[in-house]
Amino acid sequence: MQAIHPAQLDDWLQHASAQKPGALPVVLDVREPWELQTASVRPDGFELVAMPMRSVPARYLELERDRPIACLCHHGARSAQVAHFLIQNGFTAVVNVHGGIDAWSQQRDPGVPTY
């Protein structure tokens, strides 16, 4: 499974858009609702989809299998598990955001609170 740092997201978005023209990449935030209320990212060049990790097995078919997806959580562990699950279930363009929203705050947007 491929992992990217938040600082590499723009390059990944560009690559993903070139690989799948016309398909807006997805950042799949797998954190719990209280975490989303505490800190969230602003969609810029991607669609933000919130799907708590525990709901992924029941809801993953809501996602398109060939659409580029970057999984995000707090530090990267839960999102890595979800990325692995999606790949095992036939998703073809999945990466994990290493360091999660904590690294996002440090590398991309200091306006995103840390917790």
- Identify the CATH number of the domain in which residue 48 sits: 3.40.250.10
Note whether residue 76 is domain-resident: yes
Does 17 map to a domain?
yes
Within a domain: residue 113? no
* CB 101, CB 112: distance < 8 Å: yes
- Tens-place pLDDT, residues 8-26: 999 999 999 998 898 899 9
pLDDT bucket at 36, cuts 50 / 70 / 90: very high
Provide the strand spans (E) within the chain.
2-4, 26-29, 47-50, 69-72, 94-97
Residues with catalytic function: 73
Residue 32 in any domain: the answer is yes
Residue 115 lies in a domain: no
Model pLDDT for residues 40-90, shown as the tens digit of each residue: 999 999 999 999 999 999 999 999 999 999 999 999 999 999 999 999 999
Tell me if 114 is assigned to some domain: no
Tell me how far apart the alpha carbons of residues 53 and 113 are, in angstroms, rounded to a whole number.
Answer: 21
Q: Please tell me the predicted confidence (pLDDT) of residue 60.
A: 98
Domain of residue 39: give its range.
2-88+97-107
Higher pLDDT, 92 or 98: 98
The count of domains in the chain is 1
Question: Is residue 16 included in any domain, yes or no?
Answer: yes
33 inside domain: yes
